Amino acid sequence: MTTSEMMTLKTEPFVLNFGPVHPSTHGVYRMRATLDGEVVIDLEPVVGYLHRGIEKLAEERTYGGFIPLTDRLDYISPMSNNLAYCLAVEKLTGIKIPERGEYLRVIMAELQRLANHCVAVGSFLNDAGAYFTPFMYTFREREKIVDLFDMVCGQRLTYNYMRIGGVSQDIPEEFLPALIKVIERLTIFIEEYETLLKENEILLARSKGVGILTREMAIDCGISGPVARASGVNRDLRKADSYSIYDRFEFDVPTCETGDCYDRYRVRIEEMRQSLRILSQAVKDIPGGPVKAEVPHLIRPPVGEAYGHLEAPKGELGFYVVSDNSIAPYRCHIRPTSLINLSALRDMVKGWKVADLIIIFGSIDITMGEVDR
């Protein structure tokens, strides 16, 4: 039964513009929603407000000089962006990375996953209406992780830490004791956070069964990351196409069946627990040695192309690099995780209300820097 049959009064759909400047579109994102009363009938996304031409700029920077720009793509998790680009170029050149460098890369990537999920979960609950309280709690924990990153590479948001051939510098001696304390503290924090919100009836009523993404649609649209795993697609690049030294660690990949907003929230919380598990194993086994292979200052890879991808906190982030034996890439294309995850928004939202639109959009967890590049 359509809405027009249910109501005897004739109503007219109208277009409401959730503009680029809005309190809860994560960045400058514009949606034109056609509403019939409160029910969303159609959704037209308008992207491009943050386009900076990063792919074109890659052709004018050297291979090593492009790394600071990859920080600015998904600015909530820059370590993963750096790492994806370095993996692509290392596939082109065939450089081997020393052991300590690999362990440090894994530690930084998993810490980054924790920090990103803190933001994702906090913003999701903020959109649901819990007036900044869970947001403040998760950001307090993210602050502890960002302090560690600050200790290693000197900045809190644009790290520029990974290099082609390893990482840029070794960790100071106070890093590992602080990291062990952070791991213990975060384990306690996740338990307390679950008490706050896991069985909250209002959250369950708002997000269970809302915005269902079916498994077939997730596979058809090419969706990856926690969004796909919540719909039942059991694919995690750390196990499926293992890169770096992830095959040495023991961890599970959490999946759920339904694919509603609540499942995406649960998958992210469980992923945080698994990241803590990987971190404790990595901290125990870390060897000594150099952290970066001997590479020349200006790299000239042989002619060819390579696609390096990894399991970023938001999904599969990939860099496709084409080289023509000069000091700058010939073409560098970025597989934008958030844009591809966003492509299913319209079908997820039809039939739900305005309040659900915001909460479904928040549960996909996008960053506009990656959508628009």
Partner 1 sequence: MTVPEVIINNLPMEATPPDWPGGYWWHWVFFSIVLIGFMLTMVIIAIYIERRGMGRMQSRLGPNRAGPFGVLQMIADVVKVLLKENIVPDKADKLIHWLAPIVAFVPVALLFTVIPFQNGALLADLNIGILFIVAVSSLTTLGVFMAGWGSSNKYSLLGAMRNVAAVVSYEIPLALSIVGTLLVAGTMSLNGIVLAQDIPFILLQPLGFLIFFIAGCAEINRSPFDLMEADSEIVAGFHTEYSGMKFALFYLVEYAEAIAISAIITTLFLGGWRGPLLPPWLWFIGKTLVVFFLMVWTRTTLPRVRIDQLMALAWKFLLPLALINLFITAIQVLAWDDAVNWIAVVINIVVMGVLILIWSKFFKLGWGRIEV
Partner 2 sequence: MKFERYGLGILKGMSVTIRHLFRHPTVTQYPEQWLNISRRSRGNELVWSREKCTGCCTCAKTCPQGAIEIITATNAEDNKYDVEKYCVDTGYCIQCGLCVEACPYDALFMGYSFERAQYRRNDLIQSDDALLESPERPASGYFHPDIAEKLPEQTLLIEKITEKRD
Q: How far apart are CA 112 and CA 161, in angstroms?
A: 12
Residue 354 touching partner 1 (CB under 8 A) = yes
**Residue 95 phi, psi (nearest 5):** -80, 145
Q: How far apart are CA 197 and CA 304, in angstroms?
A: 50
Residue 1 touching partner 1 (CB under 8 A) = yes
Identity of residue 65? G
Q: How far apart are CA 189 and CA 186, in angstroms?
A: 5
Member of 62, 158, 200, 258 binding partner 1 (CB under 8 A): 200
Residues near partner 1 (CB under 8 A), total: 41
Residue 136 touching partner 1 (CB under 8 A) = yes
**Chain centroid to CA 89:** 21
Residues 258-317 that bind partner 1 (CB under 8 A): none
Helix spans in 129-174 (H)? 133-153
Specify the residue, 299 or 354, whose C-beta has the smaller distance to partner 1: 354
Residue 202 touching partner 1 (CB under 8 A) = yes
Q: Report CA-CA distances (Å) from 307 to 91, 144, 299, 322.
A: 8, 34, 18, 9
Query: Which of partner 1, partner 2, none has residue 355 at its interface (CB below 5 to 8 Å by kind)?
Result: partner 1
Specify the residue, 96 or 208, whose C-beta has the smaller distance to partner 2: 208
The two three-digit tokens of residue 117, written as one number: 């999920």
Per-residue interface string for the shown chain with partner 1, residues 25-54, x marking contact by CB under 8 A: -----------x-xx-x-------------
Residue 58 touching partner 1 (CB under 8 A) = no
Q: How far is the CB of 215 from partner 1 (least distance, A)?
A: 18
Q: How far is the CB of 62 from partner 2 (least distance, A)?
A: 8
The two three-digit tokens of residue 285, written as one number: 């086994």
For every residue of 311-350, DSSP letters joined together read EETTEEEEEEEEE-SSSS-SEEEEE-HHHHHHTTHHHHHT
Q: How far is the CB of 27 from partner 1 (least distance, A)?
A: 14
Specify the residue, 43 or 69, whose C-beta has the smaller distance to partner 2: 69
Residues 207-236 that bind partner 1 (CB under 8 A): 209-210
Q: How far apart are CA 18 and CA 291, in angstroms?
A: 47
Query: Which of partner 2, partner 1, none has residue 174 at its interface (CB below 5 to 8 Å by kind)?
Result: partner 2
Identity of residue 344? A
Looking at the DSSP assignment, which residues form a beta bridge with residue 228? none
Residue 363 touching partner 1 (CB under 8 A) = no
The two three-digit tokens of residue 336, written as one number: 């934008």
Q: How far apart are CA 355 and CA 95, in angstroms?
A: 50
Query: Applying CB under 8 A, which residues contact partner 2?
Result: 61-62, 64-69, 133, 140, 143-144, 147-148, 150-155, 158, 160, 168-169, 172, 174, 178, 181-182, 185, 192, 195-202, 204, 297
Looking at the DSSP assignment, which residues form a beta bridge with residue 308? 319
Q: How far apart are CA 170 and CA 100, in angstroms?
A: 9
Q: How far is the CB of 19 from partner 2 (least distance, A)?
A: 29
Residue 137 touching partner 1 (CB under 8 A) = yes
Which residues of this chain interact with partner 1, rule CB under 8 A? 1-3, 6, 14, 16, 22-24, 36, 38-39, 41, 125-133, 136-137, 140, 196, 200, 202-203, 205-206, 209-210, 350-356, 358
